[in-house]
């Protein structure tokens, strides 16, 4: 039975929304969900995207993943990636979920996050935990970790689209509930 659910699709299609709605439905089944989510941050003045924030789904703890600013450190496009926050909030949340939650959610396993060895290790630990995992992955990623996740025999890849994004959270939630013996 599949237990690794990977959401992919072009930017802006709704992968994070699908993941968050699935998490909400899973929590309604009284299952604990931990992990991390990445949200874009926009300027209150201009509305322009200024960066990305990480949130620990279990604790609500937050930190910057990346900001549109100059400085030392790794860059993806115009964004400076905050490796320390990524590891302190993101990787830590994934490891905590692998140890303490019934279901693990990771948004996203993407180019910024993959700059961190600790994050990569946390994803591997989550997969090796044997627990259900919902994750978003960059649709064109050729990173060996992402490729290996997509090729797992216990993984299912969902291509999120405008047409299916409304039904996707229920499908994933039902599969996880069934996997964990919560429904028929």
Q: Please report whether residue 53 resides in a domain.
A: no
Q: Please report whether residue 78 resides in a domain.
A: no
Q: What is the pLDDT of residues 6-22, one digit of tens each?
A: 999 998 899 999 999 99
- Asked if residue 113 lies in contact with residue 86, where contact means CB atoms within 8 angstroms, the answer is yes
Q: What is the pLDDT of residues 99-128, one digit of tens each?
A: 999 999 999 999 999 999 999 999 999 999
**Structure confidence at residue 26 (pLDDT):** 97
**Averaged pLDDT of the chain:** 95
Per the structure, the count of domains in the chain is 1
Q: Please report whether residue 68 resides in a domain.
A: no
Q: Please report whether residue 64 resides in a domain.
A: no
- Report the pLDDT averaged over residues 17-32: 96
CATH number for the domain that contains residue 103: 3.40.50.300
**pLDDT > 80? residue 23:** yes
Spatial distance between the Cα atoms of 108 and 36, rounded to a whole number of angstroms: 8
- Asked if residue 154 lies in contact with residue 3, where contact means CB atoms within 8 angstroms, the answer is yes
Q: Please report whether residue 43 resides in a domain.
A: no
**Percent of the chain whose pLDDT exceeds 70:** 98
**Structure confidence at residue 140 (pLDDT):** 87
- Report the pLDDT averaged over residues 124-145: 95
Q: Please report whether residue 30 resides in a domain.
A: yes
What is the extent of the structural domain holding 26?
4-38+83-179
**Structure confidence at residue 38 (pLDDT):** 95
pTM of the model: 0.94
Q: Please report whether residue 172 resides in a domain.
A: yes
**Structure confidence at residue 178 (pLDDT):** 93
DSSP assignment of 31-89 equals --EEEEEEEEEE-TTT--EEEEEEEETTT--EEEEEES---SS-EETTEEE-HHHIIII
**Structure confidence at residue 87 (pLDDT):** 97
Q: Please report whether residue 28 resides in a domain.
A: yes
Q: What is the pLDDT of residues 67-100, one digit of tens each?
A: 998 777 799 999 999 999 999 999 999 999 999 9
**pLDDT > 60? residue 184:** no
């Amino acid at each position: 039975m599949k237990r690794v659910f990977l959401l992919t699709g072009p930017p802006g299609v709704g992968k994070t929304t699908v993941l968050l709605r699935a998490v909400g439905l899973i929590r309604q089944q009284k299952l604990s969900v931990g992990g991390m989510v990445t949200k874009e941050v926009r300027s209150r003045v201009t509305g322009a995207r200024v960066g990305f924030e990480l949130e620990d789904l279990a604790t609500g703890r937050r930190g910057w993943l990346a900001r549109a600013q100059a400085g030392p450190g790794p860059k993806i496009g115009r964004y400076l990636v905050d490796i320390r926050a990524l590891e302190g909030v993101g990787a830590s949340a994934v490891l905590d979920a692998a140890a303490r939650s019934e279901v693990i959610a990771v948004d996203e396993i993407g180019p910024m996050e993959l700059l961190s060895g600790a994050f990569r290790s946390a994803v591997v630990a989550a997969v090796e935990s044997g627990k259900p995992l919902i994750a978003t992955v960059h649709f064109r990623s050729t990173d060996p970790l992402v490729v290996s996740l997509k090729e797992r025999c216990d993984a299912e890849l969902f291509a999120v689209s405008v047409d299916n994004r409304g039904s996707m959270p229920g499908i994933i939630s039902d599969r996880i509930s069934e996997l964990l013996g919560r429904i028929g």
